[in-house]
């Protein structure tokens, strides 16, 4: 028996098959593959590590992304920037050359040209000896305006009062005359470099903009110091002299707040342990410490930011004015009368307070201890001051 001949045209069959293949292709394209998910995960990890200034981990994450997608422009460019931040220009150039061969990216080609020029300039400096200029004194530098490059010849140096001069920040409250040089107290010289903390309370910021459980690692103040303050107070050349420091963040023994993870920062705050070990206490009353050196004055600009401060008068000195006769009255036995008339401000420490929504601080009259120190104040308090700390190269 003869089969009935189909009326379907071959052309129609071919067209139907083509449509089916296109549909399958579209589905394959839009369906997220496991490789694509792994790739995106590595890029997100790398971005997070860059924010945390952990460049080695960022480089490892970018490399993992490239292993998944050898033509990833974002991964090559990101890895190059991580190497730049580490100060390894040659490695940045090498990775961009490798990526350019595989991708032909115009953005990569442009960035490679910039870094090759910068690398050549640095190599020329190494091979061409130049006379080292004498550090300029404050009066010899254009501190009142002009381009930031006007300060490029000013290296960290000691002034007549024994403070290190490095960087500049608004302090006299008159922004029209430009920033004033920052003076730093030297706390220690060790394997990390020269440990500095600002002589004055320079500004006021909350520890965290929201009242929530937070540690130094995640607080908004840490981000502000390592971004806005860093770029406002220091030129690019000055920033190169600031070391990335492994900052330990142990828990507060008087607190139920969790331990804080270690961080890698250029700018940070002193911890409770550092204050207790670096300063000499005149005496202790139960758990309250008296340290005249911790009466830290605010700048005029910090006062304009409404940082909490008080002028130390006879009432504070002898305990008759504020109801602290048993405690503050001891100041008259341990402080010199030179402290009378001095203005002291509150200033943050990076250590957690007695709970995860508070942070430690130092009171305006140089008290530290269970009441004024360990308990802390709420992290979103807007009127506590800042004494930035950092390490510079020796």
| pLDDT tens-digit map of 325-343 | 445 554 555 566 777 788 8
How sure is the predictor about 36, in pLDDT bands with cuts at 50, 70 and 90? confident
pLDDT in tens, 198-248: 999 999 999 999 999 999 999 999 999 999 999 999 988 889 899 999 998
> Is 144 a member of any domain?
no
Mean pLDDT of the region 286-303: 79
Domain endpoint, select from 93, 111, 127: 127
Residues 6+ apart with CB under 8 A from 139: none
Statement to judge: residues 89 and 234 lie in one domain = no
Select the more confidently predicted residue: 140 or 320: 320
Domain endpoint, select from 96, 127, 158: 127
Q: At residue 170, does pLDDT exceed 90?
A: yes
pLDDT in tens, 103-155: 888 888 888 888 888 888 877 766 655 444 443 333 333 333 334 445 554 56
Q: At residue 46, does pLDDT exceed 90?
A: no
Strand, helix or coil for residue 113: helix
Q: Which phi and psi (to 5°) does residue 74 adopt? A: -60, -40
- Per-residue model confidence (pLDDT) at position 381: 93
- What does pTM read for this prediction? 0.61
Mean pLDDT of the region 354-375: 71
> Is 106 a member of any domain?
yes
Question: Is the CB of residue 382 less than 8 Å from the CB of residue 204?
Answer: yes
CATH of the domain at 81: 1.25.40.10
Least confident of 30-34, 154-158, 356-360: 30-34
Q: Which phi and psi (to 5°) does residue 336 adopt? A: -80, 155
Question: Is the CB of residue 361 less than 8 Å from the CB of residue 347?
Answer: yes
Domain endpoint, select from 127, 145, 162: 127
Q: Is the dihedral of CA 306, 171, 225, 309 positive or negative?
A: negative
Statement to judge: residues 266 and 368 lie in one domain = yes
Q: Whole domain around residue 224: which residue ranges?
A: 220-392
The total number of structural domains in the chain stands at 2
CA angle 226, 87, 215 (to 5 degrees): 25
Neighbouring CB atoms inside 10 A of 207's CB total: 31
> Is 149 a member of any domain?
no
């Amino acid at each position: 028996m003869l089969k009935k001949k189909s009326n379907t045209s071959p052309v129609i069959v071919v067209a139907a098959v083509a449509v089916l293949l296109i549909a399958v292709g579209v589905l394959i394209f839009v369906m997220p593959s496991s490789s694509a998910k792994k790739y995106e995960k590595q890029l997100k990890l790398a971005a997070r590590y860059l924010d945390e200034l952990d460049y080695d981990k960022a480089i490892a994450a970018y490399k993992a992304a490239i292993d998944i997608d050898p033509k990833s422009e974002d991964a090559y460019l990101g890895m190059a920037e991580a190497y730049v931040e580490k100060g390894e220009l040659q490695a940045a150039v090498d990775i961009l050359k490798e990526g350019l061969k595989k991708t032909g990216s115009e953005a990569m080609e442009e960035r490679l040209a910039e870094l090759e020029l910068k690398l050549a300039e640095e190599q020329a400096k190494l091979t061409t000896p130049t006379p080292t200029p004498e550090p300029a004194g404050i009066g010899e530098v254009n501190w009142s305006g002009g381009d930031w490059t006007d300060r490029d010849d000013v290296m960290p140096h000691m002034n007549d009062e024994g403070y290190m001069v490095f960087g500049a920040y608004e302090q006299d409250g008159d922004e029209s005359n430009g920033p004033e040089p920052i003076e730093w107290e030297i706390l220690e010289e060790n394997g990390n470099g020269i440990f500095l903390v600002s002589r004055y309370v320079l500004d006021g910021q909350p520890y965290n903009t929201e009242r929530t459980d937070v540690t130094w690692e995640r607080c908004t103040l840490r981000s502000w110091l390592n971004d806005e303050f860093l770029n406002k107070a220091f030129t690019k050349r000055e920033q190169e002299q600031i070391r990335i420091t492994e900052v330990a963040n142990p828990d507060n023994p008087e607190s139920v707040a969790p331990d804080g993870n270690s961080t890698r920062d250029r700018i940070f705050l002193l911890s409770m342990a550092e204050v207790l070990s670096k300063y000499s206490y005149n005496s202790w009353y139960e758990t309250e410490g008296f340290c005249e050196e911790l009466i830290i004055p605010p700048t005029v600009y910090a006062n304009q930011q409404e940082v909490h401060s008080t002028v130390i008068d006879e009432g504070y000195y002898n305990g008759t004015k504020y109801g602290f006769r048993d405690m503050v009255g001891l100041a008259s036995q341990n402080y010199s009368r030179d402290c009378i008339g001095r203005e002291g401000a509150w200033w943050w420490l990076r250590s957690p307070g007695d709970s995860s929504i508070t942070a430690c601080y130092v009171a305006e009259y140089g008290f530290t201890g269970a009441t004024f120190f360990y308990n802390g104040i709420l992290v979103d308090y807007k009127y506590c001051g800042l004494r930035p700390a950092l390490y510079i190269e020796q």
